[in-house]
Structure 1
Amino acid sequence: MGLLGDKPRTVRLEGSRVDLEAKRAPWSLWADGFGRLSIRAVQVIVVLIVAAVLFLGMQQITVVTIPVVIALILASAFAPVMRWMRSRGVPSLLATLITLLTIVVLLGLVGWLIVWAVRNQWDELYAQAEEGVQQVIDWVGTLPFEIDQAQIDEWIATATDFVTSAQFGSGALAGVSAVANFITGFVLLVVVLFFFLKDGPQLWEFLLRPFRGEHYARAQRIGDKAVSTLGSYIRGTAAVAFVDAVGIGIGLAILGVPLWLPLAVLVFLLAFIPIVGATLAGILAALVALVSNGLVNALFVVGVVVLVNQLEGNFLQPVLMGRTLKLHAFVVLIALTIGTVLGGVLGAVLAVPITAVVWGVVQVWDGPNSPARWARRKRKEEIA
């Protein structure tokens, strides 16, 4: 009887187990590791879709988005000036007008210098650079090993198409090409910059109204860190670009390289694109020296460019921008690639400062000096 009595009990237990698993099946599949991974994947896809929609929407109204972004950058760069004048008792409106007038004058002087230095000599600069490229190609043809000329021509054509394409020149250049859009954007830039300078803290406080408690404190930290990081990066980059332009320009003038002034201006502009900009400026200067002064002079030009970049990278940049803003070269290259593909020239210029701001926000996510949990350095005992 005992054996006969145990058998039905076993069957009932097994049947109830099957029924329980059948009832839990629809949602229990999301409770294991693979289910959680699937949920995270869906969340990432949703975030990417929202980001793509926002980005495409902003691309359709670049006349608005570009001036607002530039105004935010300039307001962040001159935020210490505004704080200093307000601390000295200067009325907010007067401090805003003084700062705004200073920014407009500086932008006007830089634009005038660029046009004056490059306008009359751009054709000659382009011709000499093109001739220098041809000389390098001819020299490559004399090497003991064979290089397919068709492959070289294909590389040159690909680079030329990329540089002259609408994708690479979109954004800022496309807006500047139309006079009406440029004037509209510049007026909007000045107006938005005025309100950012005058009422920036109040505008940010208005955006923080929905947050409470720790979320409010975190949002405040994010805003302060974003403004300080962006301002420090822009001020440091502008100072480094100016020193690079002056140093390389003096070196080119001493070496007797023609067109040294437009080359120095291009060095200043390209310095806002880290790594890639300095390389392009050095190559262009060396090509002009190669055509006009010969191989030895071109090698001296390369030496001057390398020396100035090394002094800037090892001494000047850490002092002006701080170690905390220094991003790894790999991160910079990835950010530049993504920025160029998405936003052309303007994307290449803004990619690194935006990346620096994101990393700065991560550093204060859990506290003033407490990075996000996943971004903290692990201790040796934790690794062990």
Structure 2
Amino acid sequence: MDEAPASRDIARGHTPTRGHLIGEGLAWTARWSLRFLLVVAALTVVGYLVIALWDVMFPVFLGLVIATVLEPPVTWLRNHRWPGTLATAVVLLLGLAVFGGIIAAIAPAVAGQAPAIGQGAVGGIQQIQGWLQGPPFNLGASQIGQYVQAAVERLQQSAGQIATGVLTGLTTVANSVINAVLALVLAFLFVKDGPTFLPWLRRVAGPTSGGHLAEIGARSWLRLGGFIRSQALIGFVDALFIGVGLVIFGVPLALPLAVLTFFGAFIPIIGALVAGALSVLIALVVQGPGTAIGVLILILAVQQIEGNLLQPLVQGRGLGLNSAIVILAVTAGSSLAGIAGAFLAVPVAAVIAEILRYFGEQIDLRTGAQDEPSEDAVAEMQDDDAEFEPEPDTETDSGDSIEPADRPTAADSDGTTPGTATTPRT
């Protein structure tokens, strides 16, 4: 690229004019604006492709998440001389058995405690009617009845839309089952053929690009796997303490709420908020405000322990994502694909952040930039300098310095002492 006029003037010893400086700044701004617009356009095209192919992309993303859970036990079995296909199949079947056992344990609890929930809901409605009849609303029973009748008529008029919604819901359930089966198949293939993928990618993309792609893939896989496993451990601890607390308070559906708390841990911030709010709501409807306040205090205490102890201990540096980015990612994912999108949003954001972090490292390597040392490192270096600092030279009255006799004279780079010459041997 040609050198800017202002730069040429400086190189020739001329002072650049104001017009040259402004023109150089505008040219730099124009070049980078064009590049920025091209990047935004490319990302927009990628986003539209992801939305258009979401039915295909979602099972792939979900399969990768499941594969990160299956990979550690499969690797352990492979290290004990199990064939890759057999190890993957056994771990996958055991995982399905555990998941099915959890569902089988939850279903009877939900069915058995449904009457209590219904009675609590009726009691809650009666409490709401009492609040509406009192201050500050002061609504009469007839007015409340009119509002209820209007709501019933609105539901009757919307019967066709409700039926359409039910059919849409059934279609969604069927699609979810298909996506789940496809994700399990892809997870099986990802885990079984995983050790050969990165070498294949390196060969196909070439030595230079393949090396970068393989490194990005390895880092993204480690980041994704670490997130899933750490969130699973944190979710298990949260579900255990909250579930035990709900049992102590006598809140119905304690086991389903504990399971919901476990899965909510995979949606940072939002998942814990939704699971906790649902637990407090059920406690309020069934057992009243006192129990609801106790459940709220329990959930807040568990969340504080998680945030201040478990997450720093288990996750270390964590995802390296700001909380605002996490919330925006969850919001974008939920608007794109509902609950499934919210579940996958944070892992995808973590992988993107890892890719950007790798690009930043490569830029630092090429430009020779180094990270600034931490305050502790600076203090340690200053202490070392103070410890090994030489004694000050003794000065004469005239200000000339006298070199101590016992101090060796500095040597040249070739090992000789200044002021001396080496005599070649004949």
Tell me the TM-score normalised to structure 1 length: 0.71
CA distance in 1, matches of 2:289, 2:224: 41
SS of 2:81's equivalent in the other structure is: coil
- Alignment partner of 1:256 out of 250, 261, 276: 250
CA deviation string 1:292-324 (max 9, x = no partner)? 333222211111001111112222223332223
Distance 2:373 2:124 in 1: 53
Q: Give the structure 2 partner of residue 323 of structure 1.
A: 317
- Within the candidate set 291, 296, 304, 1:297 is matched to 291
Take 2:134 and 2:35, find their aligned partners in 1: how far apart are those partners?
Answer: 57
The aligned residue for residue 271 of structure 1 is: 265
Q: Which residue pairs with 1:85 in the alignment?
A: 77
Counterpart for residue 53 of structure 1: 48
- Which stretch shows the higher mean deviation, 116-125 or 336-345? 116-125
Q: Distance in 2 between matches of 1:302 and 1:280?
A: 12
Distance 1:86 1:293, change over 3 A: same
Higher relative contact order (CA 8 A, sep 6+): 1
Superposed CA offset, 1:316-343 (max 9, x none): 2233322232533222111111111222
- What is residue 282 of structure 1 aligned with on the other side? 276
**Seq. identity, %:** 37
Taking structure 1 as reference, are residues 103 and 43 closer, same or farther at Cα in structure 2, changes over 3 Å only? same
2:91 pairs with 1:96: no
2:183 matches 1:212: no
- SS of the aligned residue for 1:257 comes to coil
> What is the CA–CA distance in structure 1 between the aligned matches of 2:106 and 2:100, rounded to whole Å?
10
In structure 1, C-alpha distance between the alignment counterparts of 2:285 and 2:51, rounded to whole Å: 44
Residue 110 (structure 1) aligns with: 102
Separation of aligned partners in 2, 1:372 and 1:118? 60
Return the structure number with greater helix share.
Answer: 1
**Separation of aligned partners in 1, 2:222 and 2:259:** 28
Distance 1:372 1:306 in 2: 47
Counterpart code for 1:79: E
Please list the CA deviations of residues 90-149 of structure 1 after superposition, one character each: whole Å capped at 9, or x if unmatched: 22222222222222223322333444443554686488579759968987998989xxxx
Give the whole-Å Cα distance in 2 for the aligned partners of 1:205 and 1:299: 56
Larger Rg computed on CA atoms: 2
User: Is the 1:366–1:372 Cα contact (8 Å) retained in structure 2?
Assistant: no
Structure 2 residues without counterparts, runs of 5 or longer? 1-22, 138-146, 152-160, 376-426
> How far off is 1:232 after superposition?
1.3
Tell me which residue corresponds to 2:196: 202
Deviations 1:10-39 (A, max 9, x none): xxxxxxxxxxxxxxxxxx999813421441
1:177 equivalent among 167, 173, 179: 173
Paired residue type of 1:342? L
Q: Distance in 2 between matches of 1:345 and 1:126?
A: 26
Change (3 A) 1:322 1:40: same
SS at match of 2:233: helix
**1:112 aligned partner, one-letter code:** A
CA displacement at 1:247 relative to structure 2? 0.8
Does structure 2 retain, via aligned residues, the 8 Å contact 1:229–1:360? Answer: yes
| 2:185 aligned partner, one-letter code | V
Matches within 5 A, 1:1-384: 32-59=27-54, 62=55, 64-119=56-111, 121=113, 125=117, 128=120, 177-178=173-174, 181-325=175-319, 327-365=321-359
* Residues 232-270 of structure 1: CA deviation (Å, up to 9, x unaligned): 111121222222112111111112223323322322232
RMSD: 4.1
Change (3 A) 1:97 1:176: same
Task: Kindly indicate whether the alpha-carbon contact (under 8 Å) linking 2:117 and 2:286 is maintained by their aligned counterparts in 1.
Answer: no
Structure 1 residue 77 displacement after superposition: 2.3
| Residue of structure 2 equivalent to 1:16 | none
Question: Mean Cα displacement is larger for which, 272-281 or 120-129?
Answer: 120-129
Range with bigger deviation, 224-233 or 356-365 = 356-365
Number of residue pairs matched?
Answer: 327
Range 240-249 or range 45-54, more displaced: 45-54
Match for residue 410 of structure 2? none
